[in-house]
């Protein structure tokens, strides 16, 4: 329930405005002291909840932010930043962290990825220490020559909280037609 209120301030604002109009209509009909107090309470509590929703970063929002930071690191081919967000227990389709990074670096230098856009997030927190995020990406990928092509894909990242930091323990492409990436290991070896 806190995720509903704290992770979506615009939805919270819409609900607050609708309730506030309802309270004003009730007060204008009844003209009683409790109805007036309810209107004033709404004027105070609604903005307070909105400010709180903007000030607090929930675990789900933290995971989404980390996904966006990883996308930026991929955009800049920043292997040290990517390494810092991967757990030492990282594994993906038979690749450990060091093997994954060793294969990723030449792929990023050979095929630059520009401006990855992440959308359609689905966050699932299994506990306070484990969670998964699924999202869709659209990125401009430079192919041979001066041409760019848009590459769509869907991903699942599994996170674990280690010493107060969320780190990626698994990275997996989700084969979803018409999205192109089907197998991460083949992608890192030069195929899709």
Position 75 pLDDT exceeds 90? yes
Identify the weakest region by mean pLDDT among 20-29, 56-65, 107-116, 144-153: 144-153
pLDDT tens sequence across 23-66: 999 899 999 999 999 999 999 998 988 888 788 888 999 999 99
Q: Which residues of 147-165 are buried (b: 16+ CB within 10 A; e: fewer)?
A: eeeebebbbebbbbbeeee
pLDDT classification of 9: cutoffs 50, 70, 90: confident
Tokens representing residue 102 in the block: 């060793």
């Amino acid at each position: 329930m806190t995720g509903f209120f704290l992770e979506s301030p615009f939805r919270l604002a819409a609900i607050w405005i609708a309730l506030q109009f309802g309270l004003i209509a009730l007060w204008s009909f009844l003209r009683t002291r409790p109805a007036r107090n309810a209107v004033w309470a709404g004027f105070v509590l609604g903005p307070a909840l909105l400010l709180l929703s903007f000030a607090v970063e929930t675990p789900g929002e933290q995971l989404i932010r980390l996904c966006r930071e990883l996308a930026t690191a991929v955009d800049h081919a920043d292997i040290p930043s990517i390494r810092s967000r991967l757990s030492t227990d990282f594994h993906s389709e038979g690749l450990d962290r060091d093997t994954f990074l060793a294969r990723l670096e030449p792929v990023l230098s050979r095929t630059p990825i520009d401006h990855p856009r992440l959308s359609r997030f689905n966050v699932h927190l299994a506990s306070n220490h484990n969670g998964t995020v699924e999202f869709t990406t659209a990125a401009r990928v430079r192919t041979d020559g001066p041409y760019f092509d848009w590459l769509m894909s869907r991903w699942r990242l599994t996170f674990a909280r280690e010493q107060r930091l969320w780190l990626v323990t698994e990275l997996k492409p989700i084969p979803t037609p018409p999205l192109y990436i089907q197998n991460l290991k083949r992608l890192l070896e030069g195929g899709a």
